[in-house]
Amino acid sequence: MNYNTEKDYLKTIFLEQKLEVEEETESSIKFKRRSFLVVNFTEENLVSLKKYLENKNEFENLHFETTLISKNYREELIDVINPINSRPVFWRDEEYVFGTKNESELFATIDNCSDNYAWSKLENENFLNYFLERFRMRGDNDFIQLTKRLFTIKIYNSNQSSAVDNLKFTNHIIDSCIFSFSSLKQTTIKVIEFFPKRRRFREQKENVFEIQKSNSFNIPRVKINPHLLKFYQLASSTEFESHKFLSFYHILEYFFLSVSDQNLYQKLSRRINDPKFRTTSKDLDKLIKDMNSHKTENDETEMLKSVLIKYINEDELIEFIKEYETFIGINLYTKKKTVFGTDINGTNLQSGHIFGPISKHIKAVRNALVHSSDRHERNDRFIPYSKTSMDVVKNQIPMLKFIAEKIIISTSE
């Protein structure tokens, strides 16, 4: 059988990635990059690719970059959310079936990704880099065999009029199957929306936080609050961006009441220590008014702002924001933003104009993470494991980490 079309197709992809043809026969082709990366396409691989290319037009690019969908079929990449805390359930060639497998009725499976899935994603740069990295790290270099390490959920025989209709029709089926599996197998899984992006070594070293190169440290001469240390450790070690954010936030929140009360004490002290103060009804009413005003006006955003004012050096925060916005290439704090439905004005990074907008940024994300009210459907609510939601949270974490570290230092004895 002639496989020239299939081999030419592979060449257009892999030669672009700076691989070269190491060996080519009538029924196989092998690519390599220097001595540490070899990708082998056997005759079995080429037969599979030939079938895919014949049916390629059935599939459309919809939904996530990890989605494979036609009007009658859907396949989504899945994985265990926290492998460390879950028993291993995904083994090569193991299959989980929802319903009864047949040629015409609706059913679903969770098992190794299909050949079509692997071929359809080969032109995706993130997928290709992801697998080239794993080819380099592993001994087996058969493309199809290595892609079988991926697990997907598949919906068969959905029989819709278009891929778009099939997407709508199968959304709830995907969700229900994932919940059933997670509950009955006691191993929580999720749909993966995008392939991990390979970071080059140079990029891995770039970080808005400088890592000390020396192994020599100053002997600590301060007493750190042990409770804040626990929150910091949890925030720094968790894989989940939402948990990371909330744990850093807890360090700020820890001082809400103490700073708020101190502000009230200072206000009351100024009145009482005024030589004109007398225990008359008029002066006592002023004290009562101060206390009542403190209770009604001191919402959590103001409490957060008060903590920042007390413990954070404004010039240091301004400098950090300048550096961070340059690092990510986004005017995250210096331009007006809508954060989970809350409109926040940008700061001009001038003294006296920084703590208000930053407090609103932090509080908007915190509220989105904590509250999920069903009073009305909000398109701007936080959705766990949604790329859009997680990116919003992720972008806010470095500044919150900076503030949390400064508070730990400022409150040490």
Within-domain flag for 40: no
pLDDT at 96: 92
Within-domain flag for 35: no
Region 120-149: mean pLDDT is: 80
Q: For 59-84, how does the pLDDT look when each residue is reduced to its tens digit (9 = 90+)? A: 998 999 999 999 999 999 998 887 66
Within-domain flag for 292: yes
Residue 182 vs residues 29, 30, 89: alpha-carbon distances, Å: 41, 40, 11
Number of structural domains (the chain) is: 1
pLDDT at 135: 67
Higher pLDDT, 407 or 287: 407
Residue of 383, 332, 386 whose CA lies nearest to 362:
332
Owner of token pair 């990704």: 113
Region 111-138: mean pLDDT is: 85
Instruction: Give the separation between CA 33 and CA 79, rounded to whole angstroms.
Output: 29
Within-domain flag for 122: no
Which residues have CB under 8 Å from 409's CB, separation 6+?
Answer: 222
Considering the entire predicted model, what is its pTM?
Answer: 0.67
Within-domain flag for 194: no
- Model confidence band, residue 86 (pLDDT cutoffs 50, 70, 90): low
Within-domain flag for 81: no
**Is-contact 371 242, C-beta < 8 A?**
no
pLDDT at 331: 92
Within-domain flag for 365: yes
- Model confidence band, residue 374 (pLDDT cutoffs 50, 70, 90): low
Higher pLDDT, 243 or 186: 243
Tokens found for residue 91: 């083994």
Which residues have CB under 8 Å from 16's CB, separation 6+?
Answer: none
Backbone angles phi, psi at 67, to 5 degrees: -90, 135
**Is-contact 159 72, C-beta < 8 A?**
yes
**Is-contact 337 346, C-beta < 8 A?**
yes
pLDDT at 236: 85
The chain-wide mean pLDDT, for the chain, equals 84
Within-domain flag for 345: yes
pLDDT at 196: 77
Full domain range(s) for residue 286: 225-410
Q: For 184-231, how does the pLDDT look when each residue is reduced to its tens digit (9 = 90+)? A: 887 888 899 888 775 544 444 446 777 667 776 776 777 878 898 898
Which residues have CB under 8 Å from 10's CB, separation 6+?
Answer: 29, 31, 41, 49
pLDDT at 37: 81
Instruction: Give the separation between CA 333 and CA 357, rounded to whole angstroms.
Output: 8
